[in-house]
Structure 1
Amino acid sequence: MPETNSTPPAFCVALHDVAPSTWDAYAGFVAAVKRLNIPLTLLVTPDYHRQGAVERHPAFVRAIGQRLESGDEVVLHGYYHDDPEPLGFAPQEWFMRRIYTFEGEFYRLAEAEALQRLQQGLEMFARLGWRTQGFTPPAWLLGAGARRALQQSSLSYASTIHTLIRLPTFAELPAPSLVWSSRSAWRRGLSRIWSKRMLARSRSAPFLRLGLHPVDMQYPAVQAYWLDTVRELAETRQPLTKAAWLERQA
């Protein structure tokens, strides 16, 4: 059964795919929300697209450390954020791994490999002094092996596109996400329509998540949409990180 809560409604601003190669794209947005005193949940990938471990980038490490000191949260977001594993023949697997996304890293991993990547990511973050409670799989895709691995980890929660999951029990809390597909004009147009409808349907949700991606920052209209949405939600909801909201639940 999903957990219930009686705390005031809240929302979270989550930046996906945070890495040395993507951090500059977020600079303007991060500065804007800092002026609004909005905490951020930073989904950091330890070795994004195998471009090099984050700990090899001192300027990035310092920047994230400063964000943590200001009240932000770091979440483990996969390890490589890619999916080069061989494909099977099942139509669903082809759809999920090559049409829906090419980056569902934790969708097909066996338990042992998933656990190893979780541990390596957490150990890296620990060396950097980053306390990490949560995990968000790339593309929000969790396979059976990854689910079993999460139950053995030190993490206290994981995220899907619709819920937050307490670990190790896998108790689910409703937490709908707004997310755009910004890679083409027609996708951005549909995303605007979908987001408007999603906001209307989620008015009574106790916790609403905004899921931003680096590609969103390439388009001023999309970045403006996210800032306007943050301002609108802040009028009726409390801005919190994921971990802070979970700590307030019974």
Structure 2
Amino acid sequence: MPERHLAIVLHDVAPATWPAYRPFVAAVDALAATLGPIPLTWLVVPDFHGRGRFDGDPAFVDRLQRRLERGDELALHGYYHRDDAPPPRTPGEWWMRRLYTREGEFQAIDDATVDERLDGGAALFADQGWPPPGFVAPAWLMNAATRRALTRRDFLYTSCRKRLYRLPEFTPLPAPGLVWSARSAWRRGLSLGVCTLQAHHHRQAGLLRLGIHPVDLGHPGLFDRWLRIVVTQIRAGRQPITKRQWLGRQARGATPP
């Protein structure tokens, strides 16, 4: 059988969200004692909701550096992770930017703002000596200006809900993801059914991504369910891997996408 991999992706990583992640990361690290290495992909927000840049917290920077040294991946996840563009002007824009999400930072900003935020985030990574990162837009929403800007820079990849795109060519690679909507009880209930069906539907996918958010981990049921999914997928034969590592394997032709 073709190799199957599992990417555990932590979204919205910042000093403000670390308390939500601390017990989950510890639990995953504990699983590694019996299941083998479980590298994580951390989607780091430079200035989460404008609360202060992550490089202003030396302990947080040191924590990420140590995770990088143990084999984890650090990727850039927006800049502020909030939609501060001018208000929506059409019903379609309102639905996407107010109902679907209020954090689609790169969905409605202009070229100059895209350039400023991409370059600012990349510079923060470079200042720490971290490798050139992948870029994941908040809520996976990117407008044409963002796509154009990504083709002119050194980011390794970007992604949507179903695919990774190797940059700068935007080469699509199938990589379905599971994600929970945890903002309300009815969303959590609906997500349970959807994720169960998707996990079955994508059981033979070369890469399955778990898109975990800090809000998920505030609900004991979701905290435990994400851990069960990790265990189930690994015991079913999926090898944990970072997105960066998986893309490297594709480039070498190790596993057909």
> Same fold, TM exceeding 0.5?
yes
Q: Deviations over 1:137-172 (max 9, x none)?
A: 000001000000001111021011110001111110
Is the 8 Å Cα contact of residues 112 and 149 (structure 1) preserved in structure 2? no
* Structure 2: gaps spanning 5 or more residues: none
Which residue of structure 2 aligns with residue 13 of structure 1? Answer: 8
How far, CA to CA, are the matches of 1:67 and 1:158 in structure 2? 21
Question: How many Å apart are 1:207 and its aligned residue?
Answer: 0.6
Q: Distance in 2 between matches of 1:211 and 1:150?
A: 22
Confirm or deny that 1:247 pairs with 2:242.
Answer: no
Letter in 2 for 1:22: T
1:58 and 2:58 aligned: yes
CA contact (8 A) 1:115 1:150 kept: no
**Kept after mapping to 2: 8 A contact 1:115/1:153:** no
- State the 1:130 CA deviation: 1.9
One-letter identity of the residue aligned with 1:34: D
Scaled by the length of structure 2, what TM-score is found? Answer: 0.93
**2:183 equivalent in structure 1:** 183
Matched, 1:223 2:223: yes
Match of 1:71 in 2: 71
**CA–CA distance in structure 1, aligned partners of residues 88 and 104 of structure 2:** 14
Contact kept? 2:4, 2:238, Cα under 8 Å = yes
TM-fit CA distance, 1:239: 0.4
Per-residue deviation, 1:129:
2.1
Q: Cα distance 1:89–1:211, how it changes in 2: closer, same or farther (>3 A)? A: same
Secondary structure of the 1:85 match is: coil
| Residue identity opposite 2:22 in structure 1 | A
2: CA distance, partners of 1:164 / 1:190? 25
1:133 CA drift (Å):
2.5
Determine whether 1:96 maps to 2:96: yes
Query: How far is the alpha carbon of 1:197 from its aligned partner?
Result: 0.5
Partner of 1:112: 112
Q: Which residue of the partner structure matches residue 159 of structure 1?
A: 159
Give the Cα–Cα distance (whole angstroms) in 1 for the partners of residues 112 and 170 of structure 2.
Answer: 19
What code does the residue aligned with 1:234 have? I
- For residues 154 and 210 of structure 2, the distance between their equivalents in structure 1, rounded to whole angstroms, comes to 26
Counterpart position of 2:195: 195
Aligned length: 245
Task: Say if 1:7 and 1:248, in contact at 8 Å, map to a contact too.
Answer: no
Cα-to-partner distance string for 1:56-101 (whole Å, 9 max, x where unaligned): 0011111111111111000100000011211242221111111111
Match of 1:25 among 13, 16, 20: 20
Residues 238 and 132 from structure 1, CA distance in 2 versus in 1: closer, same or farther, beyond 3 angstroms?
A: same
SS of match in other structure, 1:210: strand
Could you tell me which amino acid in structure 1 is paired with residue 101 of structure 2?
Answer: T
**Aligned amino acid, residue 67 of structure 1:** R
Aligned equivalent of 2:126 = 126
**CA offsets per residue over residues 115-135 of structure 1, 9 Å max, x none?**
221111010111112223201
In 1, distance between residues paired with 2:176 and 2:138?
16
In 1: Cα distance, 2:124 partner to 2:197 partner: 40
Q: Alignment partner of 2:172: what SS?
A: strand
Deviation at 1:7, TM superposition (A): 5.2
Greater Cα shift, 87-96 or 27-36: 87-96
Paired with 2:177 and 2:136, the residues of 1 have a C-alpha distance of: 13
CA distance in 2, matches of 1:64, 1:143: 29
2: CA distance, partners of 1:138 / 1:92: 18
Q: Distance in 2 between matches of 1:111 and 1:162?
A: 25
Query: 2:81 — aligned with what?
Result: 81
- 8 Å CA contact 2:132, 2:154 repeated in 1: no
